[in-house]
């Protein structure tokens, strides 16, 4: 009889203990909720308040500064697109992509390495343009010798000249004809909305030509390896598995990276 009553008494004591624990936890939570109310206002923490407001002004200079800030934020937002469209980055990264596919190394070098190398080569090629932009636009604007609008116009001139040196005349003629604008008397009459798409089209065409040239020697290696395997009756063995080491050895022996980087840099006028 005692053995039957003992578990029951233990369970009763455990229930009472758990009930007391619940009451203590609830009391503690209630005290935490009332703590901000009980803390004196003199020791309250001060939280900074951030507000954005629109107010009337009688000074045009205030409006000009606000518009300049909005324009600068917009430029920072579209900066990656500008880097791709208005510089040498497009030709370089597409040529590197063709090279990796021709070698058959799939993801080697990794994308981060390819993009990083393309960015540094772009910076090297565009350095004279950036230097000219700094001299004719940024420094005079910082010295308050020219207005903000004049600084933008002067900054676009070196970029415009760079794009015009790379662009193909047929592409320019195409966009002039499509836009139905009057025939320009000189390159100075060409607007930027004609030069930019013509430049991008020319860069795509040039990069695909470079990719085709890169493919030829590696394609020859693939054909030779395939013919050898076929003559040996090894039709089930993938030719890519055998040709990949030979392509890598050839690329290393001819110092391929040096040649490709040199030709890419010298291909820009």
Indicate the pTM of the whole model.
0.65
What are the φ/ψ torsions at residue 83 (nearest 5 degrees)?
Answer: -60, -40
Angle between helices 239-253 and 89-103 (to 10 degrees): 130
Quick one: pLDDT at residue 143? 79
Cα–Cα distances (Å) from 39 to 34, 42, 44, in that order, read: 9, 8, 7
CA distance 257 to 254: 9
Quick one: pLDDT at residue 268? 84
CA distance 190 to 46: 58
Q: Determine the average pLDDT of the residues in 251-269.
A: 85
Q: Ramachandran region of residue 186, left (φ > 0), alpha (ψ -120 to 50) or beta?
A: beta
Highest mean pLDDT, choosing among 5-14, 36-45, 123-132, 175-184: 123-132
- Hey, CA dihedral for 80, 82, 88, 90, is it positive or negative? positive
Contacts of 207 (CB under 8 A, 6+ apart): 90, 91, 94, 95, 98
Say which range, 59-73, 215-229, 242-256, has the weakest mean pLDDT: 59-73
Residue 35 in this model has a pLDDT that exceeds 80: no
For 196, how many CA atoms within 13 A lie in the half-sphere containing its CB? 11
Provide the CA 245 distance to its chain's centre, in angstroms: 32
Quick one: pLDDT at residue 22? 53
Q: Determine the average pLDDT of the residues in 51-76.
A: 62
Highest mean pLDDT, choosing among 23-27, 117-121, 231-235: 117-121
- Range list of β-strands (E), the chain: none
Asked whether the beta carbons of 166 and 202 are under 8 A apart, the reply is yes
For 26, how many CA atoms within 13 A lie in the half-sphere containing its CB? 6
Quick one: pLDDT at residue 37? 45
Higher pLDDT pick, 47 / 88: 88
Give 137-171 pLDDT, tens digit per residue: 878 877 777 787 788 788 888 888 888 888 888 88
High-pLDDT (> 70) share of the chain, %: 73
Higher pLDDT pick, 125 / 151: 125
**CA torsion, ordered 195, 201, 204, 205, to nearest 10 deg:** -120
Contacts of 235 (CB under 8 A, 6+ apart): 229
Quick one: pLDDT at residue 187? 76
Q: Determine the average pLDDT of the residues in 210-220.
A: 87
Higher pLDDT pick, 263 / 44: 263
Asked whether the beta carbons of 98 and 213 are under 8 A apart, the reply is no
Residue 18 in this model has a pLDDT that exceeds 50: no
Give 91-107 pLDDT, tens digit per residue: 889 888 888 888 888 77
Give 76-90 pLDDT, tens digit per residue: 777 777 777 888 888
Label residue 191 by pLDDT band (50, 70, 90).
Answer: confident
Asked whether the beta carbons of 114 and 97 are under 8 A apart, the reply is yes
**CA torsion, ordered 268, 212, 250, 91, to nearest 10 deg:** 30
Element (H, E) at 26: helix 2-38
Average pLDDT in the chain = 75
Higher pLDDT pick, 157 / 11: 157
- DSSP letters for 35-82: HHHHS-GGGPPP-----------S-HHHHHHHHHHHHHHHHHHSHHHH
């Amino acid at each position: 009889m005692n053995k039957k009553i003992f578990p029951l008494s233990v369970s009763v004591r455990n229930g009472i203990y758990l009930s007391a624990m619940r009451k203590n936890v609830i009391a503690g939570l209630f005290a935490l909720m009332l703590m901000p109310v009980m803390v004196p206002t003199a020791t309250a923490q001060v939280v900074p308040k951030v507000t954005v407001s629109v107010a009337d002004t009688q000074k045009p200079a205030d409006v000009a500064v606000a518009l300049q800030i909005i324009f600068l934020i917009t430029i920072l937002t579209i900066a990656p697109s500008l880097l791709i469209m208005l510089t040498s980055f497009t030709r370089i990264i597409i040529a590197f992509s063709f090279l990796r596919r021709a070698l058959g190394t799939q993801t080697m070098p990794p994308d981060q390495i390819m993009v990083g190398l393309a960015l540094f080569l772009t910076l090297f090629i565009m350095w004279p343009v950036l230097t000219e932009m700094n001299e004719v636009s940024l420094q005079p604007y910082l010295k308050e010798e020219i207005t903000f609008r004049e600084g933008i116009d002067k900054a676009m001139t070196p970029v415009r000249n760079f794009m015009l040196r790379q662009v193909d005349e047929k592409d320019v003629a195409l966009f002039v004809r499509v836009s139905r604008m009057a025939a320009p008397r000189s390159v100075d009459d060409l607007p930027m909305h004609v030069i930019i798409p013509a430049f991008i089209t020319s860069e795509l065409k040039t990069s695909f030509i470079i990719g085709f040239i890169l493919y030829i020697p590696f394609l020859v290696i693939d054909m030779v390896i395939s013919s050898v395997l076929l003559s040996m009756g090894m039709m089930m063995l993938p030719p890519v598995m055998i040709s990949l080491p030979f392509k890598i050895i050839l690329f290393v022996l001819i110092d391929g990276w040096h040649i490709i980087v040199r030709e890419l840099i010298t291909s820009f006028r």
